[in-house]
Amino acid sequence: MIVVRVENLKSFRSVDGSEVVEVIGAKSLGVKDLSVAIARVEVGGKTLRHRHDFTEVYYIEKGEGVMHVENDSRIVGPGDFILIPKGHRHFIENIGDAELVIWCICAPAFTVEGTKLEEG
């Protein structure tokens, strides 16, 4: 069994521009089938438009945002899960007055090589 305490982990700037802590994944624990990370987007901020060659799920823990997946945009908040299919362009904007905190679950695990930034 492996138990990970988030408070003991270091954050880094992700390729999409958000501040991320990888909780479980290829980089932190060598897990390749799945990754779990916590991303933070500051008030008024947004991630860069990008896509992955893996499936991703966002869980909104705190804050309010507008989630954009391909040509669909919706307001999201605490308790919302968002399925982002493999290859779909996406980004999220923080439209609230507090930090936006997102749990990111990827299958297989997140990789920088599997992430492509998109223009526009």
* Residue 38, domain CATH: 2.60.120.10
Domain count along the chain = 1
The verdict on residue 1 lying in a domain is no
10-residue mean pLDDT profile of the chain (120 residues): values are 94 93 93 97 97 98 98 98 98 98 97 88
The verdict on residue 3 lying in a domain is no
Instruction: Determine the pLDDT at residue 119.
Output: 75
The verdict on residue 27 lying in a domain is yes
Tally of CB atoms within 10 A around 28: 18
Instruction: Determine the pLDDT at residue 120.
Output: 60
Instruction: Determine the pLDDT at residue 41.
Output: 98
Enter the tokens of residue 75: 């307001």
The verdict on residue 2 lying in a domain is no
Q: What is the pTM of this model?
A: 0.94
For residue 64, give its domain range.
Answer: 10-117
Among 40, 59, 66, residue whose Cα is nearest residue 104: 59
